Amino acid sequence: MFEGVCRSFIVFFPTEKVQLEKETEKILSQYCPLCKELACDLHFTICYFSADYETCKKIADEIDSMAQMPAPVEMALDAVKFSYIEAIDKSLFWWDIPKNPEIVSLRSVFLEILKKHDAEIDHEDTWDPHMNICSIPGKTNECALISEFLKEPVKVSFQFLQLSRMLPDNEEDDTFEIVRSWKLSKNN
């Protein structure tokens, strides 16, 4: 069900992440086998969910209709605006290797590469099993590092997203937007 190349995001802007997790875990677990624990990235205070567009839309509508929701829910396919609690720049790295036994070793290799380049990473908080995400502080040069672990027999799709801060409409709303994205892929 989740092996397609189409990626959608459901992005939550909670005032209290713990409350959001409790309220949405049941809904998400109906659609995703990985949702035994909700996939919240502590760096972004965002919940990622990888699925086709219609599935994500259905989930977003369900969650958005919940009276207990502390904040709005947004979903998009390509351009996504994020509201953050903290004003910080970030970058996202992810690759899609459905049911691939090499994923654990790839993760290890990728983290080692980032450490060599003094990237600030956290082995626990930056990994989302839904989309094999590794999120790091906003450096732009790490995108070139993908070539270091594109080795056979693994088929890897790599995408780099640069999140850049925009001037907020007001002091209480720190808004970020994806301003640059590209995809590198290699089939061995």
pLDDT of amino acid 38: 40
Q: So what's the pLDDT on residue 78?
A: 28
Q: Which alpha helices (H) appear in the chain, and where do they start and end?
A: 17-29, 53-64, 103-116
Mean pLDDT for 119-132 is: 44
pLDDT at 110: 53
Q: Where are the domains of the chain?
A: 9-83, 90-186
84-88, 138-142, 155-159, 182-186: the lowest-pLDDT one: 84-88
Residue 130 · residue 38 · CB < 8 Å: no
First to last CA, the chain: 25
Residue type at 120 in one-letter notation: E
